[in-house]
Amino acid sequence: MTTLHETIVPTQRVRRITVLISGSGTNLQALLDAASTPRLPNAAITYVLSSRSNAYGLTRAKTQNPPIPTSVCALKTFLNRNPGSTREHYDGEVARQVLQSRPDIVVLAGWMHILSDRFLEVLNGEKEAPPKPALPPPEPKSLPNQTEPIPSNDSSSPTAETEQKTLPSPPSTQHFPIPIINLHPALPGAFDGANAIGRAFEAFQEGEVKNTGVMVHRVVAEVDRGEPLLVKDVEIKEGDTLEDLEARIHQVEHEIIVDGARIVLEELEKETSS
């Protein structure tokens, strides 16, 4: 029996993270390995959306314990299957699928499309999500001839003797705005947009920069111009190949994406407890 001097601490709700990917999903794997550990406590990856049907990150999600729901929203396929639709319609459909996953936060982990105001308006709670298209999206499929090991967490290995786990239930109501963060392999204000690593490498060879970096930032309408949450410098060494630099940046990415997600989750906890 509880006495007057005892304090009852309510159990925190496990926060739900939706991750958007386009490829191999190594940054997704970093989030999967960190979820529900001291690095990313009281959190779970509960949905993965890919812009490509053969993205290997989908396989990473489906082989977790429990398997993580996935979907595909490919731009070209969407436009072909929905005659008369535009890029804005596509972004609205991406937002609809994300919103349907009932996330606490959204992490862009290698998502290769620039998201427009339409996406942000839905996730900010400013506009309703569009209705579901008449034609269903293509079924996800794993990337052929993939050689990367999955998953890296022993507890989700197919041969591990573990009980079947369940994903955390969604909240009773969806709170807006839904925080959205993005991982970008460059320093703030430098090499915005695509091929940031290659452009930084070329700039180093031309003597224009001495180093590059990685950041996690909030997503706003301006590409890669949202408030930086974390920034890490990455050295470019004399004699580096582009592959050397890419490997060094990816190592930092796998750390910083987890730390950025944790910062946002901690902010949410403070907001709900105040």
Render pLDDT for 248-268 as a digit per residue (tens, 0 to 9): 999 999 999 999 999 999 999
Q: How many residues does the chain have?
A: 274
Residue 40's DSSP bridge partners are 35
The answer to whether 262 and 269 are in contact (CB under 8 A) is no
Residue 253's DSSP bridge partners are none
- Phi and psi at residue 254, to the nearest 5°: -65, -25
Q: How do 70-72 and 43-50 pair as beta strands?
A: parallel
What dotted CATH number matches 15-144+175-273?
Answer: 3.40.50.170
Domain ranges of the chain: 15-144+175-273
One-letter identity of residue 161: E
Structure tokens that stand for 97 in this block: 């699928």
* H or E element, residue 22: none
The answer to whether 23 and 56 are in contact (CB under 8 A) is yes
The reported pTM is 0.86
pLDDT tens-place string over residues 222-252: 877 889 999 999 999 999 999 999 999 999 9
Q: Using alpha carbons, select from 181, 235, 180 the residue that is nearest to residue 212.
A: 235
Active-site residue list: 184
pLDDT tens-place string over residues 18-33: 999 999 999 999 999 9
Structure tokens that stand for 192 in this block: 């915005």
